[in-house]
Chain A
Amino acid sequence: MNSSFSYDVLVIGAGLAGMRAAIASHNQGASVALMTKVHPVRSHSNAAQGGINAALTDRGDRWEDHAFETVKGSDYLSDQDAVEVLAQEAGQDIIALEHMGVIFNRNEEGHLGTRRFGGQKRARTFFVSDFTGQAMLHVLYEQTLQAKIPVYEEWFVTSLVKDDQGRCAGVVAFEIRTGTFALFRAKAVIMATGGLGRVYEPSTNALICTGDGMAVAYRAGAPLMDMEMVQYHPTTLKGKGLLITEAARGEGAYLLNSKGERFMERYAPNMLELASRDVVSRAEQIEINEGRGVKGCVLLDCRHLGRTFLQDRLGQIYAEAKTFANVDLAEEPLPIRPGMHYQMGGIKTDTEGRCWDVQGQWAGVPGLFAAGETACLSLHGGNRLGANSLLDTVVFGRRAGTCAAEYANTISSPTIPDSVIDADNNLVAGIVGRKGPGERAAALRLEMGTTMNQHVSVFREEEGMEAALRHITNLKTRWSDLTIQDKGQVFNTGLISALELGFMLDCAEAIIVGALTRQESRGAHFRTDYLDRDDEHWLKHVLLYHRPDGPPHVDYLPVRITQWQPQIRVY
């Protein structure tokens, strides 16, 4: 018995971008629903600790400064029209969040207070202690409850559905609790499924960050852009790679090597520890590689900040250091190292969240939108500034939700037969029913993750990446034969891991192909065989189109420059 559902706008993913988009669509009068493979407040937006950027012009800041620093941070790969929108609309979205109930930190006058963050000369990061993402996520969830927006919790999307004209017409998904497949018809679909961190091992990302939305859109014909731009965060814990917020350095913490030197003086004499993340991560890795590390790490020193300050402004990492690294931040420095953190690339969209192609047409999948880490406008280009990701989710989540609702108003409901669910239903039944003993999804994922972390990380070169690509191709073949022990329908997490791995292998391949294609060093993409940025040949985006039987088709798109010509990038 297959039930089916129909909406104007269906949002996949219920983190900050997804919920902000759903609220915007709802405010436009559209019928909208959210679908997520977890509960909304379990989303990975929770993990954003340090804050959200905005240049509030009524307090003497200039949006142009925020925009310029974002462009410089991106190593001039961001599209400047998108960055201008981000910086200009940041203020109104911060105020809107405050009105919804976010308990932003205040200054003595009772107005919003700020702290400093990396890559920016001015303190323009608004924050809630060091759990800003969580504080925002729970408030947006409150707003969806007030608006009574339906949420399909613990539903897993397996593919995007198109009508006979190639328009986006909804998704096929199954309910995790029952294993039942259903067709969700929608005039517009917004992908807001977050990042793909689990492609790497270790990663700061939660276990749910498996690139589902990127892969589903990619397989349906939407191009992925700048996938080679993978951010390594400078301060992650050894072992599982948990995140230590950049706010620690923003509030004054130092980075030290084994000799006790503040080594950033040699790499970024002006901005020191608050240079952009790619610069700091590379510096740390050089220190470690050249023997000035401490057991594969460098040290984050917060001792001079004092216990009271640490507990008040950085309480979460104070507790985290104690629980997960057995370090008292007030007493001793914390060993940290660069770790995979964020995907700057993603589904190519325009500033309204529309999945876009080279000609400015919806040639990929008309009716498909994306927002947040899943999307690539490109705002963050080669390197994202800290505290710009939360801003990205609310500004472009809102814009995507608004535009999707307006678009849905102009078209008729798609006609799709219920039978489109059969293919995915059969695929899943095939995976569950496959007889063992075969390989486990977890084992294959670990191979993928360690390969990516070895060859496609802070430093890259052709030979290693070619080896990684061969390995991923091999894993794709083995994926078709993996088996799971759980043969049930109800809450089969073994099945979900297998499907997620399939998505991640597509993402991994795209990352490597993008990285092999871009023969220069820019932002987070640093090639030891092409040491310099090459604006003459590579001031452009790399677009990848999925091909079912082989490596992706590669295309290019010029970078949109409005007012900031590329310069030498020094911090």
Chain B
Amino acid sequence: MHTTLRIRRFNPEHDRPSSYYQEYDLEIDPSDSVLDGLIKIRETIDDSLTLRCSCRGAICGSCGMRINGHATLACKTKMLSVASEGETIQVEPMNNMSVIKDLVTDMAPFWSKIRQIQPWLQPEGPPPNAEYTASPESMSHLSGVMSCIMCGVCVSDCTVMDIDKTFVGPAALAKAYRFLADPRDAATSQRLNSLNQAGGMWDCTRCMECIQVCPKGVGPMDRIMALRAKGLAEKVPATCGSRHAEVFSDIIKHKGILDEPMLAIRTFGLKNIGQLLGMVPMVVQSVLKGKVPFLGPLHRPISGIQHIQRLFKQVRKKR
């Protein structure tokens, strides 16, 4: 079949480097991946096309890039799954990272965020003579998150990192969960307190992009939510983030509908006038755009609230 790859290119050695798109027409086999197409270009048309790739089987994590707007592994993406006969496939470097050349991005900031969570097992005291005993379930549960290959795809499409460079990000937080859920690790409170800081586990906005794009099914956002639950269970010092989560759930439990002014007031506290005032422009804009029902504090519980409260009870019981 026939397809066109439209590739965003960048050569830092050009006189005035700027990115541009270049199109390559290809005859491909229906079973070919986008990586096969890129390699074909590199090997038969233009060897200056630059990308990282190695295993071809979605285990080394080298070939993260954006294909038709979403980050993924090029080796795992069949051309047929993203384009029909004659259609163009757009290939661009990952987001939230600077580009070194063509599809190669600078991963150094990615790795420094991984290092930030102290990514090594920290057991208590000297190890036993034999292995640590641990339940089979606890280890197989961890294999889900150990499947992470550090490809950077979740970081590329993270909507928080796009606006907040201090956010530690989905990959590092999933890695943090890997240690916090490991029965052999003893640094629980230290890890949770560090994740409780600004830029940590409370800064995720739950947009689900990372779950959507992760090529290994790690589900980073789910891990972040599990971290928050652990944090609350371990009673980490309250922050705006943790209060937001608790107040949010409390309001829903009692009213069945989100009362946003109340959410803001209870999250920041009435005394925190500075922060509350800081929200005024956003509130005004939200109101103007019809995003806040102006009833605010007058919200009454919705009809059928008892059903919602029953759900809350059931969830609590399950825990």
* A interface residue numbers (CB < 8 A to B): 38-39, 41-44, 46-47, 58, 94-95, 98-101, 103-113, 128-129, 131, 134-135, 138-139, 142-143, 145-146, 177, 206-208, 239-240, 242-243, 312, 316, 320, 323-324, 326, 440-443, 484-486, 488-494, 497
Contact = CB atoms under 8 A, between A and B. Distances in A.
A469 B310 CA distance: 78
Nearest to A128: B143
Contact of B182 (A39, A101, A105, A146): A101
Interface residues of B, number: 55
Ranked 4 nearest A-B pairs via Cβ: A101-B121, A442-B43, A486-B48, A494-B47
B56 A101 contact: no
Nearest to A129: B143
Contacts of A101: 120-121, 182, 184
20 contacts: A46-B59, A46-B60, A47-B57, A99-B131, A109-B133, A110-B134, A134-B59, A138-B150, A139-B121, A143-B120, A208-B54, A239-B31, A242-B56, A242-B57, A320-B58, A323-B78, A442-B43, A442-B44, A494-B47, A497-B47
Contacts of B131: 94-95, 98-99, 104, 111-112
B136 interface: yes
Contacts of B139: 103-106
Contacts of A58: 130
Contact of B54 (A104, A207, A316, A324): A207
B130 A131 contact: no
Nearest to B138: A106
Select the residue from A46, A138, A491, A497 with max chain B CB neighbours within 10 A. A491
Contacts of B58: 320, 323
B100 A494 contact: no
A324 B57 contact: yes
A99 B135 contact: no
Contacts of B12: 490
A82 B155 CA distance: 45
Given A488-B13, A494-B47, A494-B48, A103 B143 contact: yes
B279 interface: no
B13 A490 contact: yes
Given A100-B121, A142-B121, A491 B107 contact: no
B319 to A, nearest CB: 24
Contacts of B121: 100-101, 139, 142
Given A103-B146, A486-B47, A493-B50, A142 B119 contact: yes
Contact of A320 (B57, B101, B107, B147): B57
Contacts of A98: 131-132
Contacts of A486: 47-48, 50
Contacts of B50: 486, 491-493
B164 interface: no
B146 A142 contact: no
B153 interface: no
Nearest to B108: A153
B136 A113 contact: yes
A107 B48 CA distance: 51
A100 B115 CA distance: 17
A361 to B, nearest CB: 37
A440 B60 contact: no
Contact of B136 (A106, A139, A146, A316): A106
Given A106-B136, A142-B121, A42 B62 contact: yes
Contacts of A95: 130-131
Nearest to B29: A239
Contact of A488 (B48, B57, B62, B147): B48
Contact of A207 (B53, B61, B138, B143): B53
A58 B13 CA distance: 61
Contacts of B150: 41, 138
A143 B119 CA distance: 9
Contacts of A109: 133
Nearest to B102: A491
B70 interface: no
Nearest to A208: B54
B42 interface: yes
Contacts of A489: 13
A94 B147 CA distance: 20
A110 B56 contact: no
B266 to A, nearest CB: 40
B149 A142 contact: no
Contact of A131 (B133, B142, B147, B184): B147
Contacts of A484: 47
Interface in B181-195: 182, 184
A197 to B, nearest CB: 11
Select the residue from B57, B107, B146, B149 with max chain A CB neighbours within 10 A. B57
A488 B100 contact: no
B60 A42 contact: yes
A138 B146 contact: yes
B141 to A, nearest CB: 9
B31 to A, nearest CB: 7
Interface string B44-73: 101110111111111111100000000000
B140 interface: yes
A145 B13 contact: no
B254 interface: no
A364 B147 CA distance: 42
A243 B57 CA distance: 9
Nearest to A317: B57
A367 B148 CA distance: 37
B212 interface: no
B113 interface: no
B127 interface: yes
Contacts of A44: 54-55, 60
Contact of A41 (B120, B142, B149): B149
Interface in B77-127: 78, 100-101, 104, 107, 111, 115, 119-121, 123, 127
Contacts of A490: 11-13, 100-101
Given A47-B57, A112-B131, A442 B42 contact: yes
A108 to B, nearest CB: 7
A194 to B, nearest CB: 11
B76 interface: yes
